[in-house]
């Protein structure tokens, strides 16, 4: 089994070449097609990867199927699974700088954020290593005499993990670690915008000693993901991405009753009450929508502000927004990087135009930066709109860019009404010094995560997922294990005789 990529060749543009991981070997696409990875900061085509077709997807699924059906992985002892996950965590720590840098080259996210995020991934490996060793069922107190009844949790089978471009490795590990801990095998399809970082992680997976076929990686575009989702050999699809694509995957899976977990879009409210610590709330709004260039499903892009502090808060937010340093995402001093790709850049600028047409008042940003040094990059100024009502498209549709909209509210009930008036339900933020109000808001907000006096905090112990059109299922924590296991119930007769075959309770 080859544990690392072949030496990266380079063409006249110093482009790096990568291969896919299928059944423990690094391969090109069956038809030799490839596509480029483009740096959104300077437009360079810095790497290329295989464009997988249906034959490649089939080979990857067959490899995962064989590794599951022949017992290679599910029959591996929990202690051995845990050992390999811990080894993977160690390797991620050793290669964290390389993994972080490649993600920045792919999607323009800040190195100051990605570095810490990448190092934290080792914690996911260690946590689920412990889960692998402690997973258990339950002994049940049944009402039938002389019967021992218990449950066990077993892996589902082959898992297809289809991952996004905004946090490619973090959102992959949310799936990879619990799936492997439970004994599943996997085929991973990363976003076409960020394939290289996942392939580098594949090197670490093979170096850690995972058996061939347990983890496979195919790279490609939408057609590759669609071929993987509809493959009859896939037992469960774990997807993070847009609500529209998630719905399509759900329909595809329903045709064969495959399991799904879907972490989808959001239009999350970030609610500022008049008793909040305002400087802290301003920083919280910046963290919620500008720190990741707004390219996060949990972005707190609907900023609800109590009417009696609205003008003061808007002025403070605009002042701080205009101070944000835009620039090279590899520069540790940069505070906001690029949008990840050309199509997303166009989409964000289109939504800014829509907001203006709807009558929203532009308070900050709203265009590409004028600095000639940034001309090659896919930049959008951090943008704030005021005079927004919750029926405007800019308040209802996911922009996935650095655009915040300010919506006034009168009292707590009004804030809840506006916050819950959305098809989504992924996250929400509440800023208040009133502890009783904080608890009331947590109960009343229809969202999978509610932050109080903070925003965008996640951890491997804390379940994450959405209500309504923000998705199905939960990632992280012990709840994630339920997404990758089936429950089996066993009945053991301790001495009964069947006296009436037509009455199961006799």
Catalytic residues: 263, 297
CA-to-CA distance for 380 and 402, rounded, in angstroms? 7
Angle formed by the axes of helices 195-208 and 78-94, to 10°?
130
Angle formed by the axes of helices 195-208 and 168-182, to 10°?
30
Residue 497 CB contacts under 8 Å (≥ 6 apart), including other chains: none
Query: Which phi and psi (to 5°) does residue 385 adopt?
Result: -115, 140
Residue recorded with tokens 């892009």: 301
Strands 185-189 and 20-22: unpaired
437-441-443-447 Cα dihedral, nearest 10 degrees: -160
Residue 32 CB contacts under 8 Å (≥ 6 apart), including other chains: none
How far does CA 363 lie from the centroid of its chain?
31
Query: Which phi and psi (to 5°) does residue 395 adopt?
Result: -100, -10
CA-to-CA distance for 234 and 396, rounded, in angstroms? 34
CA-to-CA distance for 173 and 204, rounded, in angstroms? 13
Q: How many helices (H) and strands (E) does the chain have?
A: 15, 21
């Amino acid at each position: 089994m080859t544990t690392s990529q072949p030496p990266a060749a380079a063409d006249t543009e110093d482009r790096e070449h990568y291969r896919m991981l299928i059944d423990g070997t690094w391969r090109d696409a069956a038809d030799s097609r490839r596509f480029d990875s483009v740096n959104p900061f300077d437009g360079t085509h810095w790497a290329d990867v295989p464009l997988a077709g249906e034959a490649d997807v089939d080979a990857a699924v067959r490899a995962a199927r064989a590794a599951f059906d022949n017992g290679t992985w599910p029959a591996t002892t929990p202690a051995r699974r845990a050992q390999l996950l811990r080894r993977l965590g160690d390797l991620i720590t050793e290669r964290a700088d390389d993994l972080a840098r490649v993600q920045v080259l792919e999607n323009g996210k800040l190195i100051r954020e990605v570095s810490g995020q990448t190092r934290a991934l080792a914690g996911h490996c260690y946590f689920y290593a412990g889960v692998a060793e402690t997973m258990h069922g339950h002994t049940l107190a049944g009402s039938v005499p002389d019967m021992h009844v218990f449950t066990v949790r077993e892996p589902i089978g082959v898992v297809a993990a289809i991952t996004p471009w905004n946090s490619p490795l973090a959102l992959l590990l949310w799936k990879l670690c619990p799936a492997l801990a439970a004994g599943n095998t996997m085929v991973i399809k990363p976003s076409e915008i960020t394939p290289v970082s996942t392939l580098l992680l594949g090197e670490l997976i093979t170096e850690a000693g995972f058996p061939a076929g347990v983890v496979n990686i195919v790279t490609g575009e939408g057609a590759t993901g669609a071929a993987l989702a509809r493959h009859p050999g896939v037992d469960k699809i774990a997807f993070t991405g847009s609500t529209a694509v998630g719905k399509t995957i759900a329909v595809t899976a329903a045709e064969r009753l495959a399991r799904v977990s879907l972490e989808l879009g959001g239009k999350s409210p970030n609610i500022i009450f008049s008793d909040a610590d305002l400087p802290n709330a301003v920083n919280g709004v910046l963290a919620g929508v500008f720190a990741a260039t707004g390219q996060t499903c949990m972005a707190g892009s609907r900023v609800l502000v109590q009417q009696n502090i609205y003008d003061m808060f808007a002025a403070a937010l605009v002042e701080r927004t205009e101070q944000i340093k835009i620039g090279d995402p590899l520069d540790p001093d940069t505070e906001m990087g690029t949008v990840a790709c050309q199509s997303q850049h166009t989409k964000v600028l289109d939504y800014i135009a829509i907001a203006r047409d709807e009558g929203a008042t532009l308070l900050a940003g709203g265009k590409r930066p004028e600095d000639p040094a940034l001309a090659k990059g896919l930049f959008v100024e951090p943008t704030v709109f005021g005079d927004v009502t919750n029926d405007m498209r800019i308040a209802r549709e996911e922009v996935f860019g650095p655009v915040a909209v300010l919506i006034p509210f009168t009292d707590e009930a009004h804030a809840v009404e506006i916050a819950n008036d959305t098809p989504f339900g992924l996250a929400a933020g509440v800023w208040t010094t009133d502890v009783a109000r904080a608890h009331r808001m947590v109960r009343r907000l229809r969202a999978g995560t509610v932050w109080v006096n903070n925003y965008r905090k996640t951890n491997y112990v804390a379940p994450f997922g959405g209500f309504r059109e923000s998705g199905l299922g939960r990632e992280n924590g012990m709840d994630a294990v339920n997404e990758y296991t089936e429950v089996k119930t066993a009945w053991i007769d301790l001495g009964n005789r069947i006296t009436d075959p037509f009455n199961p309770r006799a």
